[in-house]
């Protein structure tokens, strides 16, 4: 029933409405939204750079920065974000990965007919719960070559919905970073979701406009741990690596940005 409701719900209009409220600087609106959110979700305010009262809008609070000492970044390739492990494994010759019993092609996920040689490499999917830290970072030293924003649906990415909609991650809107790193080619995919206010990379002041496919050439060197982008609400991060990584995670295990992946 919930999935059927999502299919008929005007998700983009609902997300724009939610985004308008989340960007409100009216004190009582901002205060109520932040207070309700903290009441229903176990937000770790002690990890944040600012106090709860210092945020200008709900979006500002939701995409809050961490305090400098909140995460320790490992010396090898690291987890790009906080969240819960949804899936991981080796990329086989079919160039397909699975999600809750369904498979979808990496080509469709990356919106490219030809992709880097990922066969034998690794894939990792991390679900970000509402209470998680919602910024995404460089997993290793390297260069961001380009970024592609792909418009799409805004289905919820909770496990129940993912299990019921085949290829959901390749259907939802997403922002794809193409990276050259010390560990080879890596793609980081930020997947949008229901009521997501926007996906914003570090070089833009505002999120990408919905429904406008866009590729940008960046060619900028970044250090491990540098910020790539943030969710204003949402979602899921998928990491694809051309090299095999020795993941030792269990499904549903919690992970933190900076934690070793190898």
C-beta separation of 15 from 196 below 8 A:
yes
**Residue 197 corresponds to which tokens in the numbers above?**
């206010």
**Per annotation, catalytic residue among 15, 63, 122, 235:** 235
**Per annotation, catalytic residue among 15, 63, 82, 123:** 82
> Alpha helices, DSSP H only, in 51-201?
58-62, 106-110, 159-164, 168-171
Q: Is 60 a catalytic residue?
A: no
Q: Is 82 a catalytic residue?
A: yes
Tens of each residue's pLDDT in the chain, 262 residues: 444 444 444 444 445 555 577 888 999 999 999 999 999 999 999 999 999 999 999 999 999 999 989 999 998 999 999 999 999 999 988 888 876 667 889 999 998 876 768 999 999 999 999 999 999 999 999 999 999 999 888 777 777 788 788 888 888 889 999 999 999 999 999 998 866 558 899 999 888 876 788 999 999 999 999 999 999 876 899 999 999 998 888 889 999 999 999 8
Distances (CA, A) of 237 to 35, 132, 142, 154, 222: 27, 12, 19, 15, 19
**Per annotation, catalytic residue among 134, 137, 156, 178:** 137
Q: Is 242 a catalytic residue?
A: no
Asked if the bond preceding 235 is cis, omega within 30° of 0, the reply is yes
Closest by CA position to 56, among listed 16, 18, 19, 29: 29
Domain ranges of the chain: 2-62, 83-255
């Amino acid at each position: 029933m919930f999935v059927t409701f999502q299919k008929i719900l005007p998700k983009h209009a609902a997300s724009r409405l939610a985004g308008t409220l989340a960007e409100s600087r009216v004190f009582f609106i901002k205060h109520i939204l932040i207070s309700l959110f903290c009441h229903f979700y176990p937000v770790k305010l002690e990890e944040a750079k600012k106090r709860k009262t210092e945020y200008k809008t709900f979006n500002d609070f939701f995409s809050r920065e961490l305090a400098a000492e909140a995460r320790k970044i490992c010396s090898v390739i690291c987890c790009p974000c906080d969240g819960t492990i949804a899936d991981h494994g080796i990329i086989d010759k079919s160039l397909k990965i699975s999600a809750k019993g369904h498979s979808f092609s990496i080509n469709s996920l990356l919106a490219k007919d030809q992709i880097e040689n990922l066969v034998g490499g690794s894939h990792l999917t991390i679900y970000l719960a509402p209470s998680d830290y919602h910024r995404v970072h460089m997993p290793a030293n390297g260069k961001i070559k380009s970024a592609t924003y792909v418009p799409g649906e805004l289905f919820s990415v909770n496990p129940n919905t993912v299990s019921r909609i085949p290829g959901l991650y390749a259907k939802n809107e997403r922002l794809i970073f193409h990276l050259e790193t010390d560990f080879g080619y890596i793609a980081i995919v930020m997947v949008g979701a229901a009521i997501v206010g926007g996906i914003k990379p570090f070089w833009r002041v505002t999120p990408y406009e919905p429904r406008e496919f866009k590729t940008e050439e960046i060619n900028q060197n970044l250090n491990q741990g540098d910020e790539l982008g943030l969710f204003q609400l949402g979602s899921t991060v998928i990491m694809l690596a051309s090299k095999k990584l020795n993941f030792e995670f269990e499904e549903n295990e919690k992970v933190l940005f900076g934690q070793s992946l190898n």
